[in-house]
Amino acid sequence: MSDFVSGFWNYYVISIVLVSVVGCGVLLWMQSSAKHVEGETTGHVWDGDLQEYSNPLPSWWRWLFYITIVFSLFYLAMYPGLGTFQGVFNWSSAGQYDGEMKKAEEQYGPIFKKFQSQDIMTVAASSEARDMGQRLFLTYCSQCHGSDAKGARGYPNLTDGDWLFGGTPEQIKESVAQGRDAMMPAKGVMPDMNGDQIKDLANYVRSLSGLAADSIRAQRGKELFAAACSACHGPEGKGTVGLAPNLTDKIWLYSSSEESITETITKGRTNRMPAFGEFLGDAKVHLLTAYVYGLGGGIKDAPAAVEKKQ
């Protein structure tokens, strides 16, 4: 590795760049000084009658080429391009980014700090904060939750009151900042649960929320549920905050059809909400939390068991 950070490579790159630029100038001069006779050919013929003429280059084209060569030398003196030489202006993309971030911080920092000093519910009631939070949401969250925050298959709706990890301001902020991981283990790999038993279990799960189900299968599935599922979802299937969703309501993350529920039981589900705390910083997370809370699904006090369907 030390071979690639030695001073040799710096001069190697510089020499290649300068030789290339100067070489273009020399080639242009050689072509311009060569004798060309209008209308005569070089003797090169292709496809029987395609001939190469020895006409001189147009003056406007030749001088435009010279200008580009001069410009390239000026550019290399002003900006990076010659190895580790940063140019007279000492410009770099990282420096430009830092400068833009500093300018943005000077302009928007006081606004972020103002809202950060307020509680979530106060910020959620501010129209200015909602507009800022919406822009953050559309940039970082809408790809999964949708621009209206109503979610999609596999991505929860943030406008209702159904939360797997809790919908209080503190819990929402924790979700945004630290992310969340949820996993429903696959039951189809269990040696003591075959396809017919999984179908019985799926019918019982459907019956918990009042959906149409085969009563005989649901009765058999009830015993299977107590043995294989109640540890997480609870004996009545009402779920556990932060662990397993409530199966007795009508909110489903992956559809309530028998086929979808059977697939979930058989193969399991794995979901991940990425953490934005380190990337966005505390002030933006605070605004984003207030926006999500203000969508209508946030709650003041943590309930005993609220969830999102697996």
pLDDT tens across the length of the chain (310 residues): 455 567 888 899 999 999 999 999 998 888 777 776 667 787 788 888 888 887 777 889 889 999 999 999 999 999 999 988 889 999 999 999 999 999 998 998 999 999 999 999 999 999 999 999 999 999 999 999 999 999 999 999 999 989 999 999 999 999 999 999 999 999 877 666 888 999 999 999 999 999 999 999 999 999 999 999 999 999 999 999 989 999 999 899 999 999 999 999 999 999 999 999 999 999 999 999 999 999 988 887 654 444 444 4
Residues forming a β-bridge with 183: 270
Three-class secondary structure assignment of the chain: CHHHCCHHHHHHHHHHHHHHHHHHHHHHHHHHHCCCCCCCEEEEEECCCEEEECCCCCHHHHHHHHHHHHHHHHHHHHCCCECCECCCCCCCHHHHHHHHHHHHHHHHHHHHHHHHCCCHHHHHCCHHHHHHHHHHHHHHCHHHHCCCCCCECCECCCCCCCCCCCCCHHHHHHHHHHCEEEEECCCCCCCCCCHHHHHHHHHHHHHHCCCCCCHHHHHHHHHHHHHHCHHHHCCCCCCECCCECCCCCCCCCCCCCHHHHHHHHHHCEEEEECCCHHHHCHHHHHHHHHHHHCCCCCCCCCCCCCCCCC
**Identical fold, 108-183+273-293 and 186-267:** yes
In terms of pTM, does the model score above 0.75?
no
Asked if 129 and 267 touch (Cβ cutoff 8 Å), the reply is no
- Other CB atoms within a 10 A radius of the CB of residue 288 amount to 25
Query: Which architecture characterizes domain 108-183+273-293 according to CATH?
Result: Orthogonal Bundle (1.10)
CATH topology of domain 186-267: Cytochrome Bc1 Complex; Chain D, domain 2 (1.10.760)
Boundaries of every domain in the chain: 2-78, 108-183+273-293, 186-267
